[in-house]
């Protein structure tokens, strides 16, 4: 008996003629090796797809392996660079420590040598002199900013200003204020109520930590700095009325003319061991005071 398969060209012919040797094909029956016209299209397509998938997977695996190897090489190089940077940082830290130690030794030797050479020199500045220079700067800023700002607001309310010429009222008020704030090196400043009375101001106008209270506190602190700085320091109110301005210890209060005679001190000079660290502010005018 001859077996016929559905993919044979003669299948329909033998089936229709029902020849004696025709036999219906069995579904799922494997074709004998070498029989018929080869595999079905489905089997061929499946095999081709499998081959393509295997090929793609193989190439992807190779690519991933190559990428992994490249990344591993880069990470190894980065680790090596980090190690070198750490070693360099340790060397720099050791060098810095050595330099700091050498500098301190050199500084100590320099200070020792300088102290030995200047021990008997009275004309050289000391740390105390430097401290007084700083105090002098603070004093000038206090007068030019805080004292003047307070005076510009309050002098119009003073009962004393009416007896002075209009041009002199503000500097006169500042002069009175300076006498109470800085006389006696600023260590003994009257209380706020006493200050307001001396300046001709109403005692009721001062409330709590008002401007005058704050100004008094700042002057007290400055006086304490003077006391603890060492050396003999004081505020100098000495002035020769109607004399020419002494540029070494005086300067004109703006907008006074330095060529006019001195009439009164607006703010005192700051003097340390007989040396002027901050000059007087003086009021000048061409004619006598009115």
The answer to whether residues 267 and 148 touch, using CB atoms and an 8 Å cutoff, is no
Helix 211-228 / helix 169-182 crossing angle, nearest 10 deg: 50
- Residue 161: CA atoms inside 13 Å, Cβ hemisphere, count? 21
pLDDT, tens digit only, all 290 positions of the chain: 444 444 555 555 555 555 555 555 544 444 444 444 445 566 667 777 888 888 888 888 877 878 888 888 888 888 888 988 888 888 888 888 888 778 777 767 776 665 555 445 445 456 778 889 999 999 999 999 999 999 999 898 888 888 888 889 999 999 999 999 987 654 578 888 888 888 888 765 555 458 888 999 999 999 899 988 888 899 999 998 889 999 999 999 988 999 999 999 999 999 998 999 999 999 999 877 76
C-alpha 173, offset from chain centre? 41
| Gap between the Cα atoms of 55 and 115, Å rounded | 89
Q: At what angle do helices 127-141 and 211-228 cross, to 10 degrees?
A: 170
Q: Which pTM value belongs to this model? A: 0.56
At residue 288, what are phi and psi to the nearest 5 degrees? -65, 160
For 34, phi then psi, to 5°, come to: 85, 5
- Region at 165 (left for phi over 0; alpha for psi -120 to 50; beta for the rest): beta
């Amino acid at each position: 008996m001859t077996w016929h398969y559905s993919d044979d060209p003669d299948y329909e012919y033998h089936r229709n003629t029902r020849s004696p040797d025709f036999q219906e094909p069995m579904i799922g029956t494997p074709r004998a090796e070498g029989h018929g016209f080869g595999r079905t299209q489905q089997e061929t397509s499946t095999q081709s797809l499998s081959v393509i998938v295997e090929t793609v997977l193989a190439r992807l695996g190779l690519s991933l392996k190559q990428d992994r190897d490249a990344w591993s090489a880069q990470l190894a190089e980065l680790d090596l660079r980090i190690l070198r940077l750490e070693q360099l940082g340790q060397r720099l830290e050791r060098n810095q420590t050595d330099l700091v130690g050498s500098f301190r030794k050199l500084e100590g030797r320099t200070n020792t040598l300088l102290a030995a050479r200047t021990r008997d020199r009275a004309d050289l500045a000391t740390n105390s002199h430097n401290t007084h220079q700083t105090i002098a700067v603070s004093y000038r800023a206090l007068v030019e900013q805080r004292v003047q700002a307070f005076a510009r607001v309050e002098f119009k309310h003073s009962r004393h200003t009416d007896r002075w010429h209009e041009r002199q009222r503000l500097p006169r008020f500042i002069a009175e204020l300076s006498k109470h704030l800085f006389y006696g090196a600023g260590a003994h400043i009257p209380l706020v109520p006493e200050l307001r009375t001396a300046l001709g101001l109403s005692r009721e106008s001062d409330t709590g930590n008002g401007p005058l209270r704050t100004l008094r506190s700042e002057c007290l602190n400055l006086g304490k700095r003077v006391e603890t700085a060492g050396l003999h320091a004081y505020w100098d109110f000495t002035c020769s009325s109607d004399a020419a301005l002494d540029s070494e210890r005086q300067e004109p209060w703006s907008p006074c003319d330095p060529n006019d005679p001195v009439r009164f001190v607006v703010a005192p000079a700051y003097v340390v061991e007989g040396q002027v660290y901050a000059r007087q502010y003086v009021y000048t005018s061409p004619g006598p005071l009115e």
